[in-house]
Amino acid sequence: MSARRSPPPPHPVPAPEEKPGLLRKYRELLAKHEQLVRRLEERTTLHVSTFRLSSWALETSDSALAVLSAGSVVLANSRWHALNRNRGPWQRMAEPGLGVRTGAAPTHASLREMAQVERDAALALESVGSRVARYRQTHEAHPQVLEVRSERVAGPLEGHVLVLARDITEQARDEEELLCARATMLERAQIRALGELSAGMAHDLRNTLNAMRMRLEMLQHDVAPTGQHQPHLEALARIVSDADARVSRLQDFTRQKARAFRERVQLTEVVRDAVDIARGGIEHRPLPRGHFLRLNVVMPPRLPLVAGSAMELRYVLINLLINARDAMSRGGTIHVRAVHKGATVRLTVEDEGTGIAPEHLPHLFQSFFTTKGNDGTGLGLSMAHGVVTRAGGTLTGANRKQGGAVFTLTFPALAADRKSPKKALAKKATARRKPR
């Protein structure tokens, strides 16, 4: 059996002839591809680095950033979550530095609730723009203040809102201090102008009062001591004397002179004189039919002595009585009470009028603050507060539970004179026997 013959080897197929033009184009396309790949890698690296840098900046920022859609937070940084844990209630402030709206703005429990409110407000704007609002905690002694800035996003993310929140507690405190400083500077400028104006007025008033005193002294000599007009003349003389002392005090004020309070004052006498002077203008004031004013004075026979000026404390009482009268257009009773409790003497003036608006209570004793419009100067209570404070006492104002207002004057009681009554009488008798 013959062996199988192997087939002859195949003839080599000749390689196709390369065309120089096509090879060159292929190599050019390959080089461009490699170049595009390198550029894509470079841009990808740059984008990754930018993303990492942006993420690092957002996570380490003091500002809270979030993207909100309808009812949900799409994206937020860690600062957002930290501020969101600060529980409220939060209330929107009317304007930067002007405090919280009184009873008008609703409260919110968290930053997320505030952001949803600001998101809805930003979407309601006709054009794309930023909206800024401030919120303050209402339950803390030193409340935190947040500034919330919202802006809706245009383009493919239409309907989303970018919200940026940052803690501006220190800034808000600095703004309030700046406003107070400006108000103080304005007040000082007004007081300086008032002093310049009052200097000339005080001179003319004192000359007029001196002429009135001389005429009153002449009338007192002509009227019998037991006549029915003598008490009225004495009251007029006391009023003129007080007015002269007030003008003297005004002159001291314009010259920026300090005045020491070394007088020992019996408040019982001060209240009695002030009530006698103001009673006519209170009980005889015309009111609508069926209404009238009364004065109810409850005083112990004697009180411990207090430091101060009887003339100026009398002015304070008259001012408080007139304010009480002006607050009772429908009549009622003005109550004046004095008590000695421990080491203090307390005097109260209460009315049954309209009371004091809560927003006005912190400003009662500020210079030029008045609720009477053009009928008030805003200096009465401010000067009264200064008189009582310089005497070592306190003057406060509040509302009564029964309606109306109450002003409370508190003075430290002076120690009783250690001299015995017999020695004091002997000293007076000796002084009387001395030849003049």
Residue 427 is given by DSSP the state H
Which single residue is written with the structure tokens 């054009």? 127
Give tens-digit pLDDT for 412-429.
998 876 554 444 445 544
Residue 420 has what pLDDT? 45
Residue 350 has what pLDDT? 94
Q: Is the confidence at residue 346, as pLDDT, over 90?
A: yes
DSSP per residue, 370-406: -SSGGG--S-HHHHHHHHHHHTT-EEEEEE-TTSSEE
CATH code for the structural domain at 62-167: 3.30.450
Q: By three-state DSSP, how is residue 61 classified?
A: coil
CATH code for the structural domain at 262-436: 3.30.565.10
Q: Is the confidence at residue 432, as pLDDT, over 50?
A: no
Q: Is the confidence at residue 318, as pLDDT, over 70?
A: yes
CB contact at 8 A, 271 and 334: no
% pLDDT > 90, the chain: 11
The pLDDT of 49-64, averaged and rounded, is 67
Every domain range in the chain assigned CATH 3.30.565.10:
262-436
Residue 3 is given by DSSP the state P
**Measured distance CA(362)–CA(210) in Å, rounded:** 40
Give tens-digit pLDDT for 8-46.
666 565 555 556 678 888 888 888 888 888 888 888 877
Residue 344 has what pLDDT? 92
Tokens for 100?
A: 């919280």
Residue with the bigger pLDDT between 227 and 182: it is 182
Residue 114 has what pLDDT? 86
Residue 99 — very low, low, confident or very high, per pLDDT cuts 50/70/90?
very low
Distances (CA, A) of 236 to 120, 124, 181, 230, 319: 70, 70, 44, 10, 18
Tokens for 312?
A: 């100026």
Every domain range in the chain assigned CATH 3.30.450:
62-167
Give tens-digit pLDDT for 247-291.
776 666 555 444 445 688 899 999 988 888 888 778 777 777 777
* Residue 149, strand partner residues: 132, 164
Residue 338 — very low, low, confident or very high, per pLDDT cuts 50/70/90?
very high
Taking alpha carbons only, the member of 218, 209, 294, 302 closest to residue 251 is 209
Neighbour tally for 332: CB within 10 Å:
20
Residue 172 has what pLDDT? 86
Q: By three-state DSSP, how is residue 70 classified?
A: coil
Residue 183 has what pLDDT? 77
**Measured distance CA(270)–CA(185) in Å, rounded:** 36
